[in-house]
Chain A
Amino acid sequence: MNRLATARYGGMLALAAVVAVLPLFLPNSFYYDMAILVGLNAIVCIGLNLLIGYAGQISLGHGGFFALGAYASAILTSAYGWPPAGALLAGAAGTGLLAFAVARPIMKLSGHYLAMGTLGLGIIISIVLTQEVDLTGGPDGMPVYGFSVFGWEPSGALTWYWIVGGLLLLTAWLALNIVESPVGRALRAVHGSEPAARTAGIDVVHYKALIFVVSAVLASIAGSVFVHYIGFITPSEAGFVHSIELVTMVVLGGMASIFGAIVGAAILTTLPQLLTFLHDYEMLVFGAILMGVMIFMPKGLVPAIRAWIGSRAR
């Protein structure tokens, strides 16, 4: 138990320190933009990591949930004049309900079927968002105006940075709480052995559905914040490619590791930028890096680094 406690406090402190100090190192708004995107992806990935790394399930459609939150915020604020906070909550609630409706039937089956079901859901969402031009602006997307909470409007990249940074810290703290509680153990038990978990009194289907919904809601919230920051949204956020990117961030950074999710998000959000100088070789190198990391560090980066540090300490 003590090991976990140090990980939590040490890790949270480190994260808070990084978030607080990073602005000193960011020369211009492009880098702030990167940092904010990393933060938003990290929020989604923390939720996804709870699903994939801790509960051992998989979702290939989380881009869909992200986009639903984004579009809910976009449409409710622009077309119907809702306050942004209300739209965000409505989006989260709607996404949560959808996730619940889809998850409960599929959670009774084994992993691959969930993968397929979530994949299908994500793609259906993306197609609907693309086709319903009147509502969503179709494939060209739609703009979003104005974000104000009780009359206060964020101005400039730095303010958004603090907003996203704060949300990230909050999400990480909540997730760590879950992981270190009986709920977290129940999730890991589900991953470890479903029959044994049932024998211990754990309602496996309930927990799988629960964490699926939680991760979907997190993605939706991140999507809502994203759309107010960027000011624009397109259906590609719901697409298969985005969903796969999110899963890759989680697996790359480290399964069953909150901080791994953050690291994975950071790397995969920034890596394509770093690789642009390769021009035509970009995709090739990206794919090669992905394969290489997974082959040599199958549990992801953070667990591999931890193991390496652990073996040096002995």
Chain B
Amino acid sequence: MAGEATKTMSNDVLWGGGRSPFSISYGKMMMWFFLVSDALTFSGLLVAYGFVRHSTTEAWPIGEEVFRALPFLHGSYPLIYVALMTAILIFSSVTMVLAVEAGHRMDKKGVIKWMFLTVIGGLFFVGSQAWEWSHFIHGGGGYVTTAEGAKYWVHNDAHDTHDPAHAAGFHLEPAIEGHYMADEADRVRVSPEESLKIWNERVTYVDGANMERNEYGPPQYANFFFFITGFHGFHVFSGVVINLIVLIMAIQGVFHRRGHYEMIEKAGLYWHFVDLVWVFVFTFFYLL
């Protein structure tokens, strides 16, 4: 971008008062300061996650084993859904930066078009996250443990977790230490009679995820999942609301009368920040 920020100025002029030494408006600077503080919060959460994961003596769940489902489809698609969510968020970030660019040319139509697409992208992301939460909470059927300390995954055709032993196709599968459910091909089925016997003598039955326990791994795993993705999801939600308000103002021509579209830039900073955080959540929660 051309203009003030690229001009060479002597320090006496820059810091001499009467002007911003950063050649930046008050609103934009305050948005940046807010984002720095918000970035510290998210970093704190991710570092806390790293701390717990690094210090734990229990087996920690593996991202590509836990997150491998797609809506409406059976089978194993490791990380594809999360990658799709990432793509949606990156593309809504692109439409946002194009809206900012259109604003710099005072192109009202362009701003409205790209802002509208940004809002749609944000809504798709929030919707995707709702599905992922629902899938995470319901789980894949849960596991039982026996008095000898053995662990078996519970399966039935109806995905019934309230009374799984009486649903059609009920059977157990021995769990592999440190891993989430095996792929279809590698599964070993326990016979129905043996399954029912183990089920009736079970010590615990854990299915899905809540704040106290979950079928994936240590309780902290689900707690961090809910808190980190929830906190990020709330940021996306508020970003969509901000973008929607800015879009309505753009349609009404408020910024055009003002002579500049800086409000789009400020909303854009927040929106890109949400994308930025997701890049880190994607790496540290799902990939590593």
Say if A and B assemble together.
no
B interface residues (Cβ-Cβ under 8 A, vs A): none
Binding site for B on A (CB under 8 A): none
